[in-house]
Amino acid sequence: MINGGVLISQDLSCAGQVSLSVALPVLSASGLSPTILPTAILSTHTGGFGKNTFLDLSSEMSKIMKHWQKIKLDFSAIYLGYLGKNALDFWINEIDQFKQENKLILIDPVMGDHGRLYRGIDQDYVIAMRKLIKSATILTPNLTEAAFLLGEKLNDCSIEDAASVAKKIANRFGIPNVIITGISLTKDKIAEVGFSNNQSWSLIQNKLPGNYFGTGDLFASAFLAAVMHQQDLKISCSLAANFVAQAIKQTTEQDPRLGPNYAAALPDLLEKWRNNANI
């Protein structure tokens, strides 16, 4: 059996620091030897650049997977982000072969934000995502995605409300660990709320000015890297949130559609790992 490290399966946007463009370097810098299974190639991500191109790679994904099976390539963790309809169907059919005892399967159910679904995502996609997330050991939706997964409307949300949402998702879909990200509490505060080991926990940070694409991908990637470095979920969440905040602080002139300057924040993140996450 060949250990392929962490398998990342999501799209590659050729412009804009989102999805694979950030997941691959963040996990590589952490020493996790990632393997990639791209779901699609986009000229840009779908937010703010107009009509982007979209090359569906789902048929190629099947061929790649068959080759990996022949050479007995296995993975220590699976990380699924933005998929697209055909790739979502592919993973619904294939995910069972990766479900093993103690194998980490992180699903970031990228579907929408600010109360709306992203362009190209519809209710049928949400219904299919509900099937896939039953295989997750960790789920990291934002509040909008959590609302669509539950089929409920969630607007302003307190820490207590978010904890109830996380618990409801965990129980309904049989997911051991659920983390609701990017919860806007006030104009100055933002939070993450987790439910794991049948207990709720929360973290609150200062909300920074600006609205950058790709912060959710940065968070999920840094969070996974910390978990793979044997940090508990709350510390991993704090490390990831601080990493995103540092990236935003270091972004001065970059177009926000391109995402924050995560490269400038990587040295600080790696130093925290070396110091056993003394934060």
Amino acid at residue number 171? N
Question: Measuring CA to CA, which residue among 183, 189, 186 is closest to residue 159?
Answer: 183
Question: Measuring CA to CA, which residue among 198, 193, 271 is closest to residue 239?
Answer: 271
CA separation for the pair 177, 201 (Å, rounded): 11
Q: What is the pLDDT of residue 83?
A: 93
HSE, side-chain direction, 13 A CA sphere, residue 224: 37
pLDDT, one tens digit per residue, over 75-131 is 999 999 999 999 999 999 999 988 877 789 999 999 998 888 988 899 999 999 999
Amino acid at residue number 122? D
CA separation for the pair 56, 54 (Å, rounded): 6
Q: In what order do the strands lie in the sheet with 54-56?
A: 12-15, 40-44, 54-56
CA separation for the pair 119, 203 (Å, rounded): 30
3-state SS class at 4: coil
Q: What is the pLDDT of residue 193?
A: 96
3-state SS class at 103: coil
CA separation for the pair 258, 52 (Å, rounded): 14
Structure tokens at 278: 């003394």
Question: Which architecture characterizes domain 2-274 according to CATH?
Answer: 3-Layer(aba) Sandwich (3.40)
Q: What is the pLDDT of residue 66?
A: 94
CA separation for the pair 184, 192 (Å, rounded): 9
Structure tokens at 73: 């390539």
Structure tokens at 237: 């969440």
CA separation for the pair 33, 5 (Å, rounded): 5
The model scores a pTM over 0.85: yes
Break the chain into its structural domains and give their ranges: 2-274
Quote the DSSP letter at residue 73. E
Cβ pair 181, 141 in contact under 8 A:
yes
246 sits in which H/E element:
helix 233-249
Q: Which residues of the chain have pLDDT under 50?
A: 277-279
Structure tokens at 34: 């990632």
